[in-house]
Amino acid sequence: MRIFVYVEPIDFRNGLDGIIHITKTKLREDPFSGAVFIFRNKRGHSIKAIVYDGQGFWLFMKRLSSGRFRHWPKTPDYGSQSAKLLSRELSVLIWNGNPAATKFHSDWRKIA
């Protein structure tokens, strides 16, 4: 599964249609691809995610009861507005950990 994290904060007054528009225009990705797209608000205490499952969109939101998401991914390449994560890194990010500092076993196979 492909996972994209939009590195800039967005206005959380955006509903599903607004986030789909950001996915198309800012990330230049197809929101109907089945990939997961993750966004955060300006204060950094909430995240929203969308994914298309073949029938419709899922919209997820998590707001921390205290604190903020401290380890939000930075832009990996010049000109890119998203960072790509592995599913295990997304799990760490959602639990407010640092995906970049987490040690994982190496993959047992390479995917071409």
- Percentage of the chain beyond pLDDT 70 is 82
Q: Are 73 and 7 in contact (CB under 8 A)?
A: yes
What is the tens place of the pLDDT at every residue in 5-36?
999 999 999 999 999 999 999 999 999 999 99
Query: pLDDT value at position 99?
Result: 73
| List of the chain residues with pLDDT < 70 | 75-80, 98, 100-112
The amino acid occupying position 85 is L
Distance CA 27, CA 29 (A): 5
Neighbouring-strand partners of residue 101:
none
Query: What pLDDT is attached to residue 111?
Result: 54
DSSP state, residue 13: T
Is the distance from CB of 19 to CB of 10 less than 8 angstroms?
yes
62 vs 47: CA distance, rounded Å: 5
3 state SS of 90: helix
